[in-house]
Amino acid sequence: MRTTTLGTQGPEVGVIGLGCMGMSYAYDMDTARDAETSVSVIRGAIELGATLIDTADVYGPYTNEELVGRALQDGYRERAVLSTKVGLEVSTAAPAAGTMPGLVKNGSPEHIRASIDASLRRLGTDHVDLYILHRVDPDVPLEDSWAAMAQTVRDGKARAIGISEADVAQIELAQSVHPVTAVQSELSLWTRDRLSDVVPYCEERGLAFLPFSPLGRGFLTGRFTSFDQLPADDMRRRLPRFQQENLKANLAIVQRVREVAERVGATPAQVALAWVVAQGRRVIPIPGTKTPKYLRENVAAGDLMLSGEDLALLDGAPLPEGGRY
């Protein structure tokens, strides 16, 4: 796979990484998980060049880090660029704005200090390559949260730090305390909000931009054409874009992806991922999958070069109906 760097000074990584959340959390929850297959997918990603492996303490909760740690044994840790996150907690309270149901924000320095140690224990490593603040906590000054994140670097527990779902002002504030290596936010053909501000900011300053859900939570693959196709205990059933009327309207986006896929001889998933990669030199999408088949499909998208005409057709796809959360 083609490679880039995690920021201007960061390690070399494949232009597509691997998001591990779905192996333990949120999607297809009524389907039995196969830990052995997940381990093979993580190791397969590294062998194929998708070396950026992304998890978070809240996924599971906590069990996804353990799974990733298991996969990175036997010499795989040295070959991976490992990213995990802090700043969300599972709660029965109402979800925080901009988060999935059942999660609340906690960016307190005390929480961050305790969480990095717990994450390292679960991951079975003495450091992570990238430690990301999962969400900015409105009840904690960002300077305080970011100072605690920076301390993990000084302590040797993280090589670099990043921030998720932040706007430009928040990134600049964080930068004034300690360098930001990466920004993680949702980006796909049905979530293009950050193309007007955060992505150009990162491009100009050499920050990595890590899109999560680059396949629109699986929608852009064409897998779902009806709300009823969603598994019974799947978090997508609670998201506005997957409600039946919105979903029907959003199929127009999938149709545009299919048109380009037919033109270039690729799958819709590969076209959707290649469009994301084309948005910047250090844009590194982290699609998730639980199967070797889709891993190979996703990784192959890293070498798919879309023409200007192809990209223009995709750029002209309709905007989505319904909010993200």
Longest dimension (CA), the chain: 53
**In this structure, is the dihedral angle defined by the CA atoms of residues 296, 297, 302 and 303, taken in order, positive or negative?**
positive
Active site residue 59: yes
CB 184 within 8 Å of CB 132: yes
Closest C-alpha among 218, 174, 206 to residue 283: 206
What interhelical angle do 244-264 and 268-277 show, nearest 10? 90
Strands 81-86 and 52-54, sheet pairing: parallel
Which backbone phi and psi does 104 adopt, to 5 degrees?
-130, 155
Of the residues 59, 76, 131, 294, which is catalytic? 59
**In this structure, is the dihedral angle defined by the CA atoms of residues 260, 263, 269 and 275, taken in order, positive or negative?**
negative
* Token pair belonging to 16: 């597509």
CB 80 within 8 Å of CB 71: no
Which backbone phi and psi does 301 adopt, to 5 degrees?
-65, -20
| Angstrom distance (rounded) from CA 94 to CA 103 | 8
| Angstrom distance (rounded) from CA 211 to CA 118 | 25
Strands (E), 182-268: 182-186, 208-212
Q: Is 210 helix (H, G, I), strand (E, B) or coil?
A: strand
Q: Is 178 helix (H, G, I), strand (E, B) or coil?
A: coil
Instruction: Give me the active site residues, please.
Output: 59
